[in-house]
């Protein structure tokens, strides 16, 4: 099992924990079907858990091999049932992880130096790992099937919960947002374009490196750390105006024309193309509003607040007429929680500027105007309304049926998966080295 990408702090194989008394470099701990689980596999998994901050109750040399064995059970069944990973989804996830690693380490070159192999080899290892994860998830969904739960089952489940097991439901809030962006003068826009054209001329003339200019001047701070490099991305991962230019580039030594997007103004340089993905560098600059333009935006927002206070217009109507946030504007200003897809947020899940503004409000109240950074990294002035608010409380069937249903569904799915594992154990070859048997396993059927 090759999980080196997770192991920034992997211990040398020479320093493996002595709990098993092992003095050899590696050994076969388990065999599941026709695949072995090695001591090195266990150590890599253990180090990954340490890096991720995960802990294990009990002996990790019992828990980890069993987890690896469970993975092999699902993968073995997936082969039988012809369950495969979606290549496009896997590829996207792999590129996201590689880009994350590059951001953490500093550059592609440093990443390759750290792991002593090229990006292509790292991508191959990650692809196998992500593909296996996706296959296991699909297999689990197939095993669980369409396990519906009835309202009567949910109520019975809640009725039998011990008092100290009844979950605490955190404060949940729905928020509507109206944003006003300060105007930007034509002069400010032309100044930014001229500056970018100057960068382009310097790179095209080989007077300086694109990456150097990106580090010094780009307002995309994350990519600037990597000299403007974005990593491999598909067309759908980029805004259309940027993607059209990036995918049209052919010569890595030349720089694109100035490109306008919702984020600002860019110039782009090709690094490499691979299939339907492209890796480019870019420099982003944003024209700035003057103090007068900012004051005008705030005054406009104050006038909107006055109209709302007089009840001449509803908050929803004001959003439709004035808000510049396209995402929330289409939903009457209601924000969507990207983690859950729901309109409900815990306070900690709201953007910090919005959470601070609505923290002490009651349902139906509207904030005073405040300055915030929107999802595009731009300064905007905003007001927010608390559409609904449910304070923290012990769960009850009347108010929290869906949350209780989800908890019961999770328990039922877990029971179905456990029953499947116990049955699968009966029909697959498993051999555990005597040194690895002295364990209280979650599933007792490993040793026959």
Which ranges in the chain are annotated with CATH 3.10.50.40? Answer: 172-183+290-394, 186-285
Q: Please, are residues 64 and 56 in contact by the beta-carbon 8 Å criterion?
A: yes
For residue 218 the two structure tokens come to 């780009």
The pLDDT value given to residue 52: 67
Task: Centre a 10 Å sphere on the Cβ of residue 352 and count the other Cβ atoms it contains.
Answer: 10
Q: 172-183+290-394, what's its fold?
A: Chitinase A; domain 3 (3.10.50)
Phi-psi region of 72 (alpha: psi -120 to 50; beta: other; left: phi over 0): alpha
The pLDDT value given to residue 3: 39
The pLDDT value given to residue 4: 37
Q: Is the dihedral of CA 294, 298, 299, 300 positive or negative?
A: positive
Distance CA 256, CA 246 (A): 8
The pLDDT value given to residue 161: 92
The pLDDT value given to residue 339: 85
176 Cβ neighbours under 8 A, 6+ residues apart:
315, 316, 319, 328, 332, 333, 334, 335, 384, 385, 387
For residue 244 the two structure tokens come to 């059209």
Q: Is 28 exposed, middle or buried (0-12, 13-18, 19+ CB in 10 A)?
A: middle
The pLDDT value given to residue 80: 93
Domain 186-285 sits in CATH at 3.10.50.40
The pLDDT value given to residue 16: 29
Q: According to the CATH classification, is domain 4-143+418-446 in 1.10.4030?
A: yes
Stretches in the chain below the pLDDT threshold 50? 1-24
Distance CA 418, CA 265 (A): 54
The pLDDT value given to residue 18: 34
Which ranges in the chain are annotated with CATH 1.10.4030? Answer: 4-143+418-446
């Amino acid at each position: 099992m090759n999980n080196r990408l997770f192991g920034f702090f992997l211990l040398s194989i020479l320093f493996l924990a002595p709990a098993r008394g092992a003095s050899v470099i590696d050994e076969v701990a388990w065999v599941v079907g026709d695949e072995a689980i090695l001591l090195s596999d266990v150590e890599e998994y253990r180090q990954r858990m340490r890096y991720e901050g995960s802990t294990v109750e009990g002996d990790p040399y019992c828990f980890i091999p069993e987890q690896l064995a469970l993975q092999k059970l699902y993968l073995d069944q997936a082969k039988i049932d012809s369950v495969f990973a979606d290549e496009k989804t896997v590829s996207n996830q792999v590129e996201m992880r590689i880009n994350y690693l590059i951001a953490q380490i500093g550059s592609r070159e440093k990443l390759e130096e750290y792991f002593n192999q090229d990006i292509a080899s790292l991508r191959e290892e990650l692809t196998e790992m992500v593909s296996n994860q996706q296959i296991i998830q699909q297999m689990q969904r197939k095993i669980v099937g369409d396990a519906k739960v009835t309202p009567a089952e949910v109520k019975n489940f809640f009725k039998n919960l011990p008092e100290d097991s009844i979950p605490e439901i955190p404060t949940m809030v729905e928020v509507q947002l109206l944003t006003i962006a300060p105007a930007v003068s034509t002069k400010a826009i032309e100044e930014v374009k001229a500056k970018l054209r100057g960068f382009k001329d310097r790179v095209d003339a080989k007077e300086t490196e694109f990456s150097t200019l990106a580090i010094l001047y780009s307002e995309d701070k994350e990519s600037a750390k990597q000299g403007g490099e974005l990593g491999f991305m598909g067309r759908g991962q980029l805004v259309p105006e940027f993607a059209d230019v990036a995918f049209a580039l052919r010569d890595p030594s030349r720089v694109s024309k100035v490109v306008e997007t919702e984020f600002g103004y860019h110039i782009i340089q090709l690094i490499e193309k691979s299939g339907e993905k492209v890796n480019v560098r870019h420099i982003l600059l944003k024209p700035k509003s003057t103090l007068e333009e900012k004051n005008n935006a705030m005054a406009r927002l104050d006038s909107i607040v006055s109209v709302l206070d007089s009840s001449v217009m509803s908050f929803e109507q004001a959003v439709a007429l004035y808000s510049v946030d396209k995402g929330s504007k289409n939903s009457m200003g209601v924000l969507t929680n990207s983690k859950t897809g729901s309109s409900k947020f815990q306070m900690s899940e709201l953007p910090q500027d919005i959470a601070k503004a609505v923290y002490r409000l009651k349902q139906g109240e509207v904030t005073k105007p405040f300055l915030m950074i929107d999802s595009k990294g731009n300064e905007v002035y905003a007001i927010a309304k608390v559409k609904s608010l449910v304070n923290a409380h012990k769960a009850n069937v009347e108010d929290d049926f869906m949350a209780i249903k989800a908890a019961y569904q999770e328990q039922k799915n877990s029971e179905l998966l456990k029953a499947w594992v116990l049955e699968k154990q009966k029909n697959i070859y498993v051999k555990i080295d005597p040194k690895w048997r002295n364990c209280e396993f979650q599933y007792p059927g490993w040793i026959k």
